[in-house]
Amino acid sequence: MKQIAFLFVLWFGGIIAAPDALGQSVQWPIEAVTLYERGAKIERAGSVELDGQGSATVMLTGLSSSVVADMLQVSLGPGWSLASHAFAASTPTSHIELAAEKEANIDREIQSKRQTFLLREALLFAYEEELAMIRSNRSLNGEELLLVDDLRDHANFWRERVTELSYLMLELRMEMEELTTAMDELEVQRQEWEKTMEESEGQWTLRFAGPPKSSTDVRVSYVVSQAGWSPVYDAEVSPDGSIQMKRYASAFQSTGQEWEEVLLTFVVGNPLQSIAPPIVEKKLLSLGDSNGAEAYAWEAQASFDDYESDDDMQTHRSAASNALERYEFKPSSPALIRGDGSPERIFIESFDLQGELSYLLLPEYTDEAYQLVNSGEWAESELVPGRVQVIAGGMYRGAYFMQLPAPGDTLHIPLGKDVRVRASRKRVLNRCTSKAFGSSRKSTQSFEITVENQHNRSVSVAVQDAIPHATVSEIQVEVLELSGGELNAASGQLVWDLELGPNERRTLSFGYVVTYSKHRVLEGL
């Protein structure tokens, strides 16, 4: 079995192709593409034969101009080497010549139609003048006496000529409109060919050396920057809380060339930056605010329609994933990715997650509960942050951008509001007081939250509120009652985890006292 050596070649400006080595121009087909979150590795393959002196120059054309020139890799046969290589991006001479020829033909056609338009315009003016003259002489003046037959002939002539002129003028105007439309379309074509003259194409010149008259199959791989992908999902939630996830890739590439029937691999992470290993940096941990009961929150809190299309995901697409693991996904069949940058949704696989339904109530902000499905065993499913379309009860509920908690924490998938699990929040005014003593003032505040389950089944509910958090030492906050709620002293977040039976209604209460200087105005209460 013939062994193939794999050569990594870096571009540092010292390895260049001889300027007089024109070589053979080839366009090897794309055999495989590995798409990273930013960038893509393209693999092409073809056959190379060395001459009697053991050398061959191949110009690999038809490449994207966004090629990263220092990311070339070439497989070589036994005893072969890569003598030199050079990448250049320019508009091919054949494209320039073809565009110039097309533009010249279009210019001639536009000029011909413009001359025809001017002739029709002059004829229309003559018809308009004749019609104006006939209309100005349609009445008889003086004492001349005309016979009835003469008068009838005069009227017939006037009517027939006016009708004839009207039809002729209408035909001219219609022809002139068609000429105008045709000239506009030709001008658009002309501008497109002008763009063609400005479009650049990549070309890699490779010089091989090895045993004379030998030949081998060569595989070339390189990286382009104008490509990438982001994970998207469909999450279909069953009434029992089980989740069927369908994983897709929203892939795009702007190389100007279509990737059709190409084997695709989607990789989480960025392509190899160089053959030298990177410098390992420190891992730093930091804390951030959380909007959930646990240290995990999803984006697009206000509405599921914040991300309605793949185009709206460009912001997330431009940032690398923060996934803890490096994953690789291969679709079962080839797909088409157009080269104009438009996103393509490519199915990868489906898998199941175990989940449980629950409700989140934020009575300070809304009366209706947010329904969630919670999964604790998600980490082995190779999930990556991405856009999720949620389907429940046979209905599309909306979409959101899924962030991942730390492995071991619970993954929450929001399903939208449920009007049958409700909460109302009110201030208990007869227990709210404000008293001054010495140089201080005490403000006592008391609240009641009524929680109601209108389903004929039991539901798990998390009710969230908050105790005010003092930002200065002059303000003191004392908790009075919590009705069994759990208080996070650092954030002031107050949570009740409840199990409500069918049609059960329950009242929660909490209160606090704020002490501050009576010479100051308390804000934020």
What are the domain boundaries of the chain? 5-90+200-224, 95-138+149-198, 227-273+286-420, 428-517
Which pLDDT does position 141 carry in this prediction? 56
The CATH T-level fold of domain 428-517 is Immunoglobulin-like (2.60.40)
Which pLDDT does position 314 carry in this prediction? 41
Which pLDDT does position 407 carry in this prediction? 84
Which pLDDT does position 379 carry in this prediction? 86
Which pLDDT does position 408 carry in this prediction? 86
Which pLDDT does position 8 carry in this prediction? 37
Residues of the chain with confidence (pLDDT) below 50: 1-21, 146, 290-324
Look at residues 373, 355, 459, 463 and name the one whose alpha carbon lies nearest to residue 416: 373
Q: Is residue 338 within 8 Å of residue 251, measured between CB atoms?
A: no
SS3 445: strand
Which pLDDT does position 279 carry in this prediction? 61
Q: Residue 161: left (phi > 0), alpha (psi -120 to 50), or beta?
A: alpha
Note the Cα 116 to chain centre separation in Å.
Answer: 48
For tokens 């438009």, name the residue: 342
Which pLDDT does position 340 carry in this prediction? 85
Which pLDDT does position 135 carry in this prediction? 76
Which pLDDT does position 249 carry in this prediction? 94
Q: Residue 361's CB: how many other CB atoms inside 10 A?
A: 25
Gap between the Cα atoms of 216 and 50, Å rounded: 9
Which pLDDT does position 194 carry in this prediction? 79
Gap between the Cα atoms of 106 and 186, Å rounded: 6
